[in-house]
Structures are given as structure tokens and as C-alpha cells.
Amino acid sequence: MEDIMSNAQTKIMRETVREMDLTANLKWRRTKDFLFAVTGLMTLLFAICVLLALFIDLAMTGVPRISAEFFMNFPSRFPEKAGILSAWVGSLAVMITTAFVAIPVGVAAGIYLEEYAPKNIFTKIIELNIINLAGVPSITFGLMALGLFVYKLKFGQSILTAGMTLGLLVLPIVIVTTREAIRTIPNSIREASYGLGASHWQTIQHHVLPYSSGGILTGVIISLSRAIGETAPLITVGALTFIAFLPTAPVSDVFPFVSFQWLHDAFTVMPIQMFNWVSRPQTEFHVNAAATGTVLLIMTLLMNGIAIFIRYRFRRRMKW
Amino acid sequence: MSELKAFTSANHPTRRWRRIKDRLIETVLFLAAASSVLVTIGIVYILVSESLPFFSHVSLVEFLTEREWTPMFSDAKFGIRPLIAGTFMATFIAVCVAIPLGTIVSAYLSEYVRPSMREALKPILELLAAVPSVVYGYFALLFVTPLLQKLMPELGGFSVLSAGIVMGIMIIPYVSSLSEDAMRSVPTHLREASAALGSTKFQTTLRVVIPSAFSGITSAYVLGISRALGETMVVAIAAGMQPNLTLDPTEPAATITAFIVQVSLGDLPHGSIGYQSIYVAGLTLLFITLVFNIVGMWIRSRVQEKE
Amino acid sequence: MSPQFEIPATSTTKFNLGHQTEFLRSQVKSLSFSYNPKDKVILKNVSLPIFDKKVTALIGPSGCGKTTLLRCFNRMHDLYNEVSYDGEILLYPESKNILSRDVDPMEVRMRIGMVFQKPNPFPKTIYENVAYGLRVRGIKKKSYMDEKIELSLQHAGLWSEVKDRLHAQATSLSGGQQQRLCIARALVTDPEILLLDEPTSALDPISTSHIEELIVELKKDVTILIVTHNLHQAARCSDYTAFMYLGDLIEYGPSNQIFTNPSDKRTENYITGRFG
């Protein structure tokens, strides 16, 4: 041991620290600790209170307005006659289209990145791109869709355009949650499957996908709940705010009995209807906006609740 | 039995088909993953190509120095500055709300709350981000603004302040969720080392956990800022849509996003100057977001280098 | 199973073990420990003296409770769940029961330092790592800190290796250096007892021998309690050894006695390598 100072000097130093009166300091440190715990709790409660205030404020104004007619009427110049028929049907149609775009592509991409992707520059680019895509403002997706889907590909300002726009917008959420769900499956399961002679895809099909289905479903529901409330990109692609008709029915009485004409119809959705009403000066329309908002909020909370429930059940069931 | 044996041979038709199927599936899956890159390319390509014609009408100098943005007027002026001022102001207010509150909440959840409690609280907190932004717009205009008017009677019906505060609350979960993940991934042995030296939980949090999780916390902040920059409906509803070169948050002003919404609501012929102007605005927004993300990456790499 | 001798109820002074005189620094009195009342008991009625400026080694097979016992000494368990302590750990000279509910764990940790199994420097500079203990105590005087840090780095035998790069990241040090840094970090606040939890289990043989030399050097100034898996290490560095098995303290005594002439069959089996 080089450089050890003489014991005598060491002793002097040791005494000084040990004999410092640190009790007052300790008290103050404990107080700060306590104060932070209180601040943290208060902040958390504040956030939850804001959520409650928002919900109560909306419900108190909106709930009295909700009735069967409100769901069965088209928008109108007269606030008391106006309803959200075209809006909720539009939301439903757009959601279905969104799901058909986002789920297959997102889940497939997630599987590829977790199960197949080699460690190379392409994979790195794809991964980086997905992270960055999640931070791109949603309105730029709308601008892209307006230029590409509406004008270049001539899909028009239709349900198809809207569904594809939102599908691409929520794609990163589906991909990321799919990957997270797949990642929780331990490698030993895969090895067991390979050990029995299964191919790569068989392993995925029989083991990876079924075991991660709960997580994937959670991601899908979360992404759709995000899509149902999205407004700005749909305004940009040119969703109309006043629609007094419904899309073409998907079933018809002439051969082949199903029709996809509805994909090309003009549409409005609930958040746009709400935006339209909240932007008007008359208070009566604000009541309609609150009612629409309540419906929208209940749907969003419901979807999130289901997602949390599935995640919880799935975690309990799957113990590796 | 013999069939099983035959299957083991590499040239058995079922096995060959299995191999081909595997290749095929891999290709399809790869295309799906690659499509996400196509989305990015699509966004950049459309935004750039649709806004290029704009600069044949308006010089870059005018775009950057003109103090007014009135593309829909007959006497049109194309200075982006009022929109950028509005965007930054709204973002700044939102960040002033979200970063302190989000960081406190994440430190509290990560270090002070029992795991079972945390599992219950996190989903509730994340609901803040799940509420549709148009509902937040309603809340800002018809609840927060009247509330603020009680404190500041001179506040008008539309203000950046109210929109910014609500936006800040909205992005708390974006900040807190990632920060909390980062803090919780700080290894336990560092907390123990700090505790063994006699520090309180608060000192451990402040001096060990937060510095160790700095990289992840930066990502959380960058995500929060990106969200605030791109948020549309809250500002479109509660801040008014009037481009206004001001730094006074009690005034109404338009952000880039609010302007795009305002123009999109009207009739917009393809190729008109109004049409081009929303693309220029969108491109500017994308550029600003990109700069923030690059700054974030740079800060993170600086920190990682030091370690 | 009780140790071979009776420990006086409160002792602050001489303690005659027959061959030499020792001073008590601390003692464990019939300590039982479990993580929560329903769970299985991890320590069963353990009693043990800790002598001043001596090295006491805790040995035993995995899961015998030796690390749990060590962590009781600075109330590490309090960081996590509800835990139940039954019994006392007295700290002298004032015979304070550090497990008492009225005693602040922070105060205990300010008096008793700990070094962990894996080197765990903070992702800060070398200087900041050592300074940490002083900073959390609110000590700010630069000249005082500089002096203390130099002294404790010297104490830990690391000064000559790091004096030119005190502001380099601690993670840039080798594993053995990191562990010595952790020892310096614990020493800077002048602990009355230093707890070492298998401090060399993650290190190579050369770093291990460095640390062992250091332990022998350190006991001039500080009381050391060490948990180790390495029996040779216990024999080389410790003055007293306690053998634990399934939560019981089986045997305690001077190390040379435990290792050459154990009185319990299980101790003998363990040190001769028949299990563990």
C-alpha cells in the first residue's frame, strides 16, 4: 500500500467528520424528503383532478342532451334538432378501414422486426424510422394524404382516404406494441418448438403469435382509440363538417350483395362534428358539442379500459 | 411410419413447400416493415414537392422576414414569423406545465410509490393522453379560459395561455411515462449504494436516479415537445386562428397547425396559393420538429460519450 | 444453537476472550428476521458480538442468511417491503438498538458504511463518487472535501492510480479499481463499522488479493464485517468467524479456531467442502 499517510494525521481527520453535528442537517433532509413526497402526491392528484374536472364538466353539459334522436338525426342549423347520425356512422366506417390498414401491416412489421430482422443497416433504419414517425405531427400525415391519396391517387375526400391516413398514423403504435408483446416470450419456448422440428414460421404461427395475442390486441385497441379521436389530419384531407346523408350501405339486394361503394363516399366523424359545434358562437351548439364529446370520451375510456383489462388478464395468465 | 421417414428427407414435397412458404412469408413481413419507411419518404416527398411552387411566388427572404401572414387576403403577405411565434409560445407554455409536473410525477411513481399502487395509478395517468384533443379544446375554451378570466379579468375569449396550459396537461403522460421507465431502469444497486451512504430517498432520486436516467428523460422531454409542437385541435379551438406576431400569451394567436386547419376548412383548389401555403407551413413544422429531435439526440450522445 | 460463550448484556469496555482483550463495537442479540410475518423466517434467533477494529467474517452456504444479517446492520431491508425484525443490534458506545422503530435508518446508515457484491460506482466522476457521502450530509467546504477525498482514496489504496484523473468517469476504471473506489466512497464518511458483502466475488484473483490486503490494512481504523463465499479469504483476513446455516448461527469464535478445530459437525463439513 503506497502513499498511506501517517496514522496520526488520519486520526485527526476522522474525528472531525464523525463529531460533526449532523442531526440538524438530517432533520432538514428528512423534511425535504417528506415535502417531495407530498409534492409528488399532490401533482398526481392534480392531474387526476383535471381529468375528473374535464369529464364532469363535459358530462354535466352534455349528458342531458343525449337521447335516441341525438344518435338518429343528421346535423342541422337548428341546434335542438341536430344529431350525430352521420358522424358516428362515419367514425365507425373510418375505424373499420383504419383497422384493415394498420393491423395487418403493423403486426407483420412487428413480427419481422422481432423474429426475422438481421442486425444490419436496413433494420436499423426501419427501427429509427418507426421511433421518429411516432414523433411526427399528426397534421403532416393529413397533408401527405391530401397530396398523395386525394390528388395523386385520386381516392377523393373519402372514407378510404381517411382510413388509410389514420391507419398510417397509428402504424407505429401497433408495431411497437406488437414488438413488446413478442419480446416477452422467452426464447426457451421458441427453442422447444424448433427442437421438435418446426420451421420458423410454424414456430411463430403456433407459439409466438398465440402467446403474444393479448399484448398485440391491447396495442390494436389503444391505436384505434387514438384514431377515433384524431381530428386534424381528417380536416386536412377534407372531411366535410356538414353531412346530411349516410355512406352507401355495404350490403345490397343485387348481385354480389356486398358493395364497397361506401369507401368512396364523403364522410364526417364525431370529433370533426364536435369541433364544428364548439367553434360556433351559440351556446346551444356548445351543448351539442359537449354531448358529442361525452360520447367520444366514453368510447375512448371504454376502449382504454378494455385494453387495460386484457393486459391485466394476460399478465396473470402468462407466467413464464 | 414409412411416411414419417420419408418426410425427414430434404426433398420431400411437403418439406420443400414448407421452405418456400417460409421464404415467402419472410418477404411479405419484410415488405410490411419496410412500408413504414415508405410512409416517411411519402411525407417528405409530398411536403417538399407541393410546397416548391410556393417559392416561385414568394421569395425565401420575404417568407422569413415579413411580419404578417395573410395568404388568403387579396393583399397576401407571406411571412411565417407570426405562425412560428404562435407555435413556440404555445409550446413553451405547454412545456412549462408538462416538464415540471411530468418529472415530479415520474420520480414520485418510480421512487416513492409501492409497485402495486403504481400499476393502478399509471393507467389512470395515461388516460390524460388518451382523451381526444378536440375534447381538450372544448375544455380549454369553455372551462379553463373562464376560470383564468376570474383570475385575470382582462383575458379575452381566445388566448394562447389557456390553450398552452391545457396542452401541457395533455402531454404530462408523454413526459412522465418515458421518464418513469428510464428512472425505474436505473439499477437497484445504485440506489442501495446511495442509501448506504446515508442519503434520503429524495437525495437518491435527485443525485443518483435522475442523473443516471438522463438519457431516457431527455427522450421523454423531446417527445413531449414534439407533441406540443404538432398539437392542433386545442390551439385551433382555444387560441383563435388569427396569425399574430406577439409574445404576449394572453393574446389570441395562430400556430402553424391552427393555420393549416383554418385553411383546410375552406374550399381549397389544388395548386392554389392557399393550397401551397399549407404545405409550406407543414414543411416548416416538420423541420422544427426535426431540429428538436436532432438536438435531443445530440444531447443524449454527449451524455453517453461522457459515460 | 448458541455460541460457545455468554455475551454480557451491555458492554462498552473490556472483553476477555482468554487469549486477548477485545472491545465490543456492536452486538446482535437474539435477532430473528422475516420479510413479512407470513413468510418463512430467514434469521432465527442469532446472537453475535462484533469486536472493535477487528474483522468478523460471516460464512455459510447460499441462502443461510449471512447477507440478510449483514444488510440488517444498515437497515437495507427497510428500503423495500414491510419487514419484521425481532431482537436487537446494539451499537456501542451508547448501546443504541439500531433496529428500533424510533431509530432513523438514515442515521444508522450515516454511521455504518456498506460495500456491495458487485462494484456499483455511480455514473459520475471518480471525485464525485467519493464526494457523494459528504455532499448528502450537506458538507460543502471545498478544501475540506478535497482533503477528505484524498485521504479516503489513499486509505482504499487507489490514490496513486487515480490522482491524475479524478474527474474521469468512474465507470472507466477496471472492476478491481471500481470496488476500491466503492470502499473509498464508504470510508470518506468515517463509518464506525464497514460492511462488506462478498466484495471480491465479481473480481479477478489479482484484484481480489488487492482488496484482501486492503481489508487487513483497514482494520487498524475501522471495524469490519464481511460476508464471503471464499473460505480461504475468511481464513486469511478475518479475526473472528461466524458460520451460519439455514438462518441459524451454528458456531462463532476466533477464526483460527473455527478453521482448524471446529466444534460443530456441520461447520466441519462445510469448511472441509462436503457441502455448500
Domain match, A131 and A219 both = yes
- C213 to A2, A319, C126, C255: CA distances (angstroms): 12, 46, 22, 17
Domain match, A78 and A29 both = no
Cell of A134: 411516432
Domain match, A88 and A194 both = yes
- Does A19 fall in a domain? yes
| Nearest residue, CB atoms, B282 vs list A139, A201, A228 | A139
* Chain B residues inside the 8 Å CB shell of A194: none
Dist CA A85 CA A95 (whole Å): 15
Give the CATH number for residue A200. 1.10.3720.10
pLDDT above 90 (res B135): yes
Cell of C114: 456498506
Strands C240-245 and C55-59: parallel
Q: Contact at 8 Å (CB) between C115 and C186?
A: yes
pLDDT given at position B77: 80
Cite the DSSP H helix spans in C59-174: 66-72, 105-111, 126-136, 142-155, 159-162
The 10s digit of each residue's pLDDT in B160-172 is 999 999 999 999 9
Dist CA B22 CA B33 (whole Å): 17
pLDDT given at position B205: 94
- The answer to whether A271 contacts B141, with C-beta atoms less than 8 Å apart, is no
Dist CA C65 CA C59 (whole Å): 10
Domain match, B96 and B7 both = no
Instruction: Pick the range with the lowest mean pLDDT from A88-102, A181-195, B101-115, B187-201.
Output: A181-195
Strands C21-34 and C14-16: antiparallel
- Does B32 fall in a domain? yes
- pLDDT > 70 in chain A, percent: 86
- Does A150 fall in a domain? yes
Domain match, A34 and A98 both = no
Question: Directed axis angle between helix A270-278 and helix A209-229, to 10°?
Answer: 20
- A111 to A178, A185, A214, B219, B251: CA distances (angstroms): 7, 12, 15, 25, 49
Confidence of residue A223 (pLDDT cuts 50, 70, 90): very high
- State the amino acid at position B200 in one-letter form: T
Calculate mean pLDDT across residues C170-190: 90
pLDDT given at position A28: 85
- The answer to whether C157 contacts A1, with C-beta atoms less than 8 Å apart, is yes
Range picked from A31-45, B272-286, C88-102 for highest mean pLDDT? A31-45
Nearest CA in chain A to B174: A135
Domain match, A268 and A146 both = yes
Calculate mean pLDDT across residues A313-319: 69
CA distance C148 to chain A (A): 7
Domain match, A16 and A40 both = yes
Q: What are chain A's partners, defined as 3 or more CB pairs within 8 angstroms?
A: B, C
CA distance B203 to chain C (A): 7
Domains (ranges, CATH) in chain C? 35-120+192-271 (3.40.50.300)
- The answer to whether A10 contacts C155, with C-beta atoms less than 8 Å apart, is yes
pLDDT given at position B6: 60
- What burial letters (b/e) apply to A90-101, b meaning 16+ CB within 10 Å? bbebbbebbbeb
Number of domains in chain B: 2
**Cα Rg of chain C, angstroms:** 19
- Does B215 fall in a domain? yes
Q: Is A81 helix (H, G, I), strand (E, B) or coil?
A: coil
pLDDT given at position B18: 77
Nearest CA in chain A to B222: A135
* Chain C residues inside the 8 Å CB shell of B192: 76, 79, 114, 116, 120
Domain match, B34 and B125 both = no
> For residue C85, what are the β-bridge partners?
C33
Give the closest residue to A274 by CA, choosing from A232, A304, A225.
A232
Q: What is the pTM of this model?
A: 0.84
The 10s digit of each residue's pLDDT in A210-221 is 888 888 999 999
- The answer to whether A132 contacts B293, with C-beta atoms less than 8 Å apart, is yes
Calculate mean pLDDT across residues B137-158: 90
Domain extent for A290: 67-317
- pLDDT > 90 in chain B, percent: 50
- Does B59 fall in a domain? no
Confidence of residue A281 (pLDDT cuts 50, 70, 90): confident
pLDDT greater at residue A71 or residue B136: B136
- The answer to whether C192 contacts A2, with C-beta atoms less than 8 Å apart, is no
Domain match, B15 and B85 both = no
pLDDT above 80 (res A243): no
pLDDT given at position A10: 40
pLDDT above 60 (res B180): yes
Q: What are chain B's partners, defined as 3 or more CB pairs within 8 angstroms?
A: A, C
Domain match, A95 and A27 both = no
- Does A2 fall in a domain? no
pLDDT given at position A34: 93
CA distance C109 to chain B (A): 5
Q: Contact at 8 Å (CB) between B136 and B167?
A: yes
pLDDT above 90 (res A105): yes
Q: Is C180 helix (H, G, I), strand (E, B) or coil?
A: helix
Helix (H) or strand (E) holding B37: helix B13-51
pLDDT greater at residue C43 or residue A241: C43
Confidence of residue C173 (pLDDT cuts 50, 70, 90): very high
**Cα Rg of chain A, angstroms:** 28
Calculate mean pLDDT across residues A115-119: 87
Strands C41-51 and C193-197: unpaired
Domain match, A93 and A142 both = yes
Four-residue CA torsion sign, B197, B200, B204, B206: negative
Give, rounded to a whole angstrom, the gap between the first and last alpha carbons of chain C: 19
Domain match, B79 and B18 both = no
- Does B174 fall in a domain? yes
Domain extent for B36: 2-51
**Cα Rg of chain B, angstroms:** 26
Dist CA C43 CA C64 (whole Å): 8
Question: Directed axis angle between helix A159-183 and helix B13-51, to 10°?
Answer: 130
Calculate mean pLDDT across residues C40-51: 88
- Is any Cβ of chain C less than 8 angstroms from the Cβ of B110? no
Instruction: Pick the range with the lowest mean pLDDT from A163-167, A192-196, B96-100.
Output: A192-196
Domain match, B193 and B99 both = yes
Task: For chain B, give the longest Cα–Cα distance.
Answer: 91
Q: Quick count: other Cβ atoms within 10 Å of Cβ C157?
A: 22
| Nearest residue, CB atoms, C136 vs list B190, B199, B211 | B199
Calculate mean pLDDT across residues B239-246: 81
Q: Quick count: other Cβ atoms within 10 Å of Cβ B96?
A: 13
Q: Contact at 8 Å (CB) between C197 and C71?
A: yes
Chains B & C: contacts with CB separation below 8 Å? 69
Number of domains in chain A: 2
pLDDT above 60 (res B111): yes
Confidence of residue A297 (pLDDT cuts 50, 70, 90): very high
Nearest CA in chain C to B214: C123
* Chain A residues inside the 8 Å CB shell of C110: 22, 26
Tell me how many degrees the CA angle B261-A99-B270 measures, rounded to the nearest 5: 35
Domain match, B191 and B220 both = yes
Residues 237-266 of C with CB under 8 A from A: none
* Chain A residues inside the 8 Å CB shell of C151: 5, 10, 13
Confidence of residue A253 (pLDDT cuts 50, 70, 90): low
- State the amino acid at position B88 in one-letter form: F
- State the amino acid at position C64 in one-letter form: C
For C189, phi then psi, to 5°, come to -95, 15
Strands C84-91 and C96-97: antiparallel
pLDDT above 50 (res A86): yes
pLDDT greater at residue B60 or residue B191: B191
pLDDT greater at residue C84 or residue C194: C194
pLDDT given at position C178: 93
DSSP state of C7: P
Cell of C247: 438462518
Nearest CA in chain A to C192: A18
pLDDT above 70 (res C7): no
pLDDT given at position B143: 92
Calculate mean pLDDT across residues C21-27: 83
pLDDT given at position C181: 93
- The answer to whether A140 contacts B42, with C-beta atoms less than 8 Å apart, is no
Q: Is C103 helix (H, G, I), strand (E, B) or coil?
A: coil
Burial (CB < 10 A; 0-12, 13-18, 19+), residue A213, is middle
Domain match, A185 and A203 both = yes
CA distance A6 to chain C (A): 10
Helix (H) or strand (E) holding C34: strand C21-34
The 10s digit of each residue's pLDDT in C59-87 is 999 888 899 999 999 888 888 777 888 88
Whole-number average pLDDT of chain C: 85
- Does A1 fall in a domain? no
Confidence of residue B183 (pLDDT cuts 50, 70, 90): very high
The 10s digit of each residue's pLDDT in B247-260 is 788 888 888 999 99
Domain match, A28 and A89 both = no
- C34 to B145, B186, C42, C82: CA distances (angstroms): 55, 27, 5, 9
Query: Dihedral angle at the C-alpha atoms of B140, B143, B146, B148, nearest 10 degrees?
Result: -60
Domain match, A49 and A116 both = no
Q: Quick count: other Cβ atoms within 10 Å of Cβ A111?
A: 26
pLDDT given at position A107: 94
Domain match, B235 and B165 both = yes
Q: How many helices (H) and strands (E) does chain C have?
A: 10, 11
Domain match, B117 and B240 both = yes
Instruction: Pick the range with the lowest mean pLDDT from A4-8, C44-48, C117-121, C242-246.
Output: A4-8
Domain match, B74 and B162 both = yes
Query: Dihedral angle at the C-alpha atoms of A281, A284, A287, A289, nearest 10 degrees?
Result: -50
pLDDT above 50 (res A299): yes
pLDDT greater at residue A139 or residue B275: A139
The 10s digit of each residue's pLDDT in A3-41 is 333 443 444 444 456 656 667 778 888 899 999 999 999
Cell of A37: 413526497
Instruction: Pick the range with the lowest mean pLDDT from A187-196, B23-32, B225-234.
Output: A187-196
Nearest CA in chain C to A21: C137
pLDDT given at position A133: 87
Give the CATH number for residue B212. 1.10.3720.10
Phi-psi region of B128 (alpha: psi -120 to 50; beta: other; left: phi over 0): alpha
pLDDT above 70 (res A319): no
Cite the DSSP H helix spans in A150-239: 159-183, 187-195, 200-203, 209-229, 232-237
Confidence of residue A308 (pLDDT cuts 50, 70, 90): confident
pLDDT above 60 (res C16): no
- Is any Cβ of chain A less than 8 angstroms from the Cβ of C192? yes
pLDDT greater at residue A154 or residue A18: A154
Whole-number average pLDDT of chain A: 83
Dist CA A276 CA B18 (whole Å): 55
- What burial letters (b/e) apply to B109-119, b meaning 16+ CB within 10 Å? bbbbbeeeebe
Chains A & B: contacts with CB separation below 8 Å? 260
- Does A254 fall in a domain? yes
| Nearest residue, CB atoms, A135 vs list B105, B108, B293 | B293
- pLDDT > 90 in chain C, percent: 26
Cell of B157: 375569449
Domain match, A33 and A104 both = no
- Does B131 fall in a domain? yes
Q: Contact at 8 Å (CB) between B174 and B224?
A: yes
Q: Contact at 8 Å (CB) between A39 and B104?
A: yes
- Does A274 fall in a domain? yes
Cell of C259: 478453521
Confidence of residue C2 (pLDDT cuts 50, 70, 90): very low
Dist CA A171 CA A98 (whole Å): 10
- Does B58 fall in a domain? no
Q: Is C42 helix (H, G, I), strand (E, B) or coil?
A: strand
- Does B56 fall in a domain? no
pLDDT given at position C10: 41
Calculate mean pLDDT across residues C108-117: 89
- Is any Cβ of chain A less than 8 angstroms from the Cβ of B250? no
Dist CA A165 CA A232 (whole Å): 11
Domain match, B165 and B43 both = no
Domain match, B84 and B46 both = no
Give, rounded to a whole angstrom, the gap between the first and last alpha carbons of chain B: 61
- Is any Cβ of chain A less than 8 angstroms from the Cβ of B4? no
Q: Quick count: other Cβ atoms within 10 Å of Cβ C50?
A: 22
Tell me how many degrees the CA angle B281-B285-B290 measures, rounded to the nearest 5: 145
pLDDT given at position A144: 93
- The answer to whether A29 contacts C136, with C-beta atoms less than 8 Å apart, is yes
Domain match, B37 and B80 both = no
- Does B301 fall in a domain? yes
Confidence of residue A80 (pLDDT cuts 50, 70, 90): confident
- State the amino acid at position C186 in one-letter form: A
pLDDT given at position A56: 93
pLDDT given at position A47: 93
Calculate mean pLDDT across residues A100-126: 91
